[in-house]
Amino acid sequence: MSEALISLANVTRGFGAGAAAFQALRGVDLGIDEGDFVAIMGPSGSGKSSLMNILGCLDTPSGGSYRFRGLEVAGLSRDQRALLRRHALGFVFQGFNLLARTSAQENVELPLLYRGESATLRHERARAALASVGLEGWGHHTPSELSGGQQQRVAIARALVTGPSLLLADEPTGNLDTERSREIMDLLTALNRDKGITVVMVTHEPDMAEYAHRIVRLVDGRIASDVRRAKHQDGGAPA
């Protein structure tokens, strides 16, 4: 049996010391397979952000084990974790995080620029990534010339341009109206279904979580439930 893409065993994360100490994660066990689509839910302060930061190699556990494709992440240096982020992970945020005075294509090219790729390769891959999210021909537009939904598509294209194995989406529809939210969720579903990209998404919205294969709920730094849902033929949320 192949090893899970992500394996967390008794992961803890604490902050502060003494009377100010706070335990954000309290012994989390979680396995996520290649091609899964997981929604992480829970009230404010439940540990969602701490968990996502650890999954994204932006933080390390205080205790326990985090393995990515069998590699113990805690044993990596800061530079090695940065390389893992650069080559295997993609990030999508609620606030889009696009450079305001930079074109959509240039925004998408940024991760490749950090990797030192040639201009020709950057242009080619950025155009392909924009096309994959339905924005072919929109590369010359700046964020101010795009709708919120289009800006989030650019952000997703930027996350995809490096060919990541894992897409981490933190409240990806939080700044969008209902129609645009559904468009983004349909896009994430298609990327998961058609390209096999593993998606882990934090959301407060139950109707957005319904798009996922699994819904993991955190309460007080612990997993309160982990429910796998039946996949629908169209890959989207149930009617």
> Given CA atoms 83, 87, 89, 94 in this order, what sign does their dihedral have?
positive
Question: d(Cα 45, Cα 109) in Å, to the nearest integer?
Answer: 35
Residue type, 36: D
**The pTM is what?**
0.91
Q: Which domains does the chain have, with CATH numbers?
A: 6-10+35-228 (3.40.50.300)
Contact by Cβ (8 Å): 200, 167: yes
What is the distance between the alpha carbons of residues 217 and 43, in angstroms, rounded to a whole number?
9
Mean pLDDT of all residues in 90-117:
92
Q: How does pLDDT run across 156-184, given as a tens digit for each residue?
A: 999 999 999 999 999 999 989 999 999 99
Q: Please, which pLDDT band fits residue 237 given cuts at 50, 70 and 90?
A: low
CA dist 201 and 188 (Å) reads: 10
Average pLDDT over residues 125-148: 95
Identity (one letter) of the amino acid at 10?
Answer: N
Eight-class DSSP state of 65? E
